[in-house]
Amino acid sequence: MNVDKILADLEAKHPGEKEYLQAVREVLLTVQDEYNKHPEFEKAKIIERMVEPDRILTFRVTWVDDKGEVQNNIGYRVQFNNAIGPYKGGIRFHASVNLSILKFLGFEQTFKNALTTLPMGGAKGGSDFSPRGKSDAEIMRFCQAFMIELWRNIGPDMDVPAGDIGVGGREVGYLYGMYKKLTRECTGTLTGKGFEFGGSRIRPEATGFGACYYVQSMLKDLGTDFKGKTVAVSGFGNVAWGAVLKATELGAKVVTISGPDGYIYDPDGINTPEKIETMLELRASGNDVCAPYAEKYPNAQFFAGKKPWEQKVDIAMPCATQNEVSKADAEMLRDNKVLLVAEVSNMGCTAEAIDLFIENKMVYAPGKAVNAGGVATSGLEMTQNAQHIYWTAEEVDKNLHQIMKDIYDQCVKYGKEEDGYMNYMKGANIAGFMKVANAMMGQGVI
Ligand code: 2IT
């Protein structure tokens, strides 16, 4: 595989799609040695086929705001790869959404879903619609307008969307409601639904819980556990919430959360039901700020415009968004002797930050492994829907636990380097890649 040539060709075809090119580069650089052991992959042009989405749908979403003004947004669904199973992946509503971001997410999702051990392909969708400051009625009308365009292209064995940034249980409910209205079928197409209409127990918590289960395995290999450790978490959304809950339950003290406005440092720990409730209220307010936390809890400090990585902690868990850990942040984590960095956000660390972790032999695990518990539990929701049954929270959690352990073991299998350094990124990329490549090989040139 000639990585430089493939990347140069891609860049010429898709100029300026920097997140997408970044995600592809990372995977190609880590899988090339393994790929080159398989001349049959080269002959079948597996890598050239894998880096391009199967198809991209774009559509106009027109809706009316509360003032009666007509608004236009762009909607997308990137169906990346269905070699292993139906397209599967979240929908993101955020002002920053563009094709580069959704292509990077769809590409990552393909390998992540392969790691889950469940039969799911990769996809991602979304819109440049910003939920910030929107009323509930506006959110509903937007979701309905989005689904009126999307519904023909999704289905329980075709493509199953879910939530992502800006799309939580409420939005999934509105999207699914319109999907059902149009299809007149209750096939469960969309995961993260309400418990009353097909949603799985533990799905809201699953990304954060799964990330903590993965970190538990990392800590075990370091001869320790969560007890008494301090944790820096970024973000204050659904993923951060699950991570804070589980890390606290396992005996750690989470001391930070963050938002686009800055971060909160709470030396007492974000560990009481009231503080967790405050996190949920911040999110429900729709204002995208975390500063009000410090007004409520006098020991907590708010640092405007900064990120939590400057705090000295044992464990760093970025839970916000892509490229939230820069090289300078990585240097601070190194200088503060962080025990491990578990990326929970998708591509949360820049390429330069990852290079620094690996050059310094730091313990770093990538998002596509650490955060896979979210989509894995979506897969478990699909199973329950297909069987027309509900599992208890205990059953779902047990499955999630086992899946995270399997993902961890795959990363270790492919990631252990000759000098004993555990390169979890390499392990995750190779394990995911090999599964997708073999699935494509088995189905001919299509
Ligand atoms: O990035 C992700 O894995 C998600 N947003 C969840 C996708 C899903 O289908 O549950």
191-207 per-position pLDDT tens digit: 999 999 999 999 999 99
Closest CA to 27 of 421, 414, 419: 414
Q: How many residues does the chain have?
A: 446
> Which residue, among 265, 261, 263, has the nearest Cα to 253 in the 3D structure?
265
pLDDT for 220 equals 98
pLDDT digit string, tens, across residues 332-352:
999 999 999 999 999 999 999
Q: Which of 88, 103, 112, 124 is catalytic?
A: 124
DSSP 184: -
Q: Band of the pLDDT at 110, cuts 50, 70, 90? A: very high
Q: What is the pLDDT of residues 375-389, one digit of tens each?
A: 999 999 999 999 999
pLDDT tens-digit series, residues 46-66: 999 999 999 999 999 999 999
Map tokens 């601070």 to a residue: 332
Rounded to the nearest whole angstrom, what is the distance from the C-alpha of residue 19 to the centroid of ligand 1?
18
Q: Which residues approach ligand 1 with their CB closer than 6 A?
A: 88-90, 109, 162, 164, 191, 346, 374-375, 378
Neighbours of 355 (CB within 10 A): 13
Mark whether 124 is an active-site residue: yes
Residues 65-85: tens digit of each pLDDT: 999 999 999 999 999 999 999
The residues near 40 (Cβ < 8 Å, ≥ 6 apart) are 441
What is the pLDDT confidence band of residue 365, given thresholds at 50, 70 and 90? very high
3-class DSSP state of 18:
helix
C-alpha 441/C-alpha 108 separation (Å) is 20
Is the confidence at residue 1, as pLDDT, over 90? Answer: no
Q: How far is the CA of 360 from the centre of ligand 1 (A)?
A: 31
The pLDDT assigned to 25 comes to 97
Q: How far is the CA of 374 from the centre of ligand 1 (A)?
A: 6
Pocket test for ligand 1, best of 84, 109, 203, 207 (most atoms within 8 A of CB): 109
CA distance linking residue 107 with residue 94, whole number of Å: 19
Rounded-to-integer distance, Cα 383 and Cα 388, Å: 8
pLDDT classification of 309: cutoffs 50, 70, 90: very high
pLDDT at 127: 99
For atom 3 of ligand 1, the residue with the nearest CA is 375
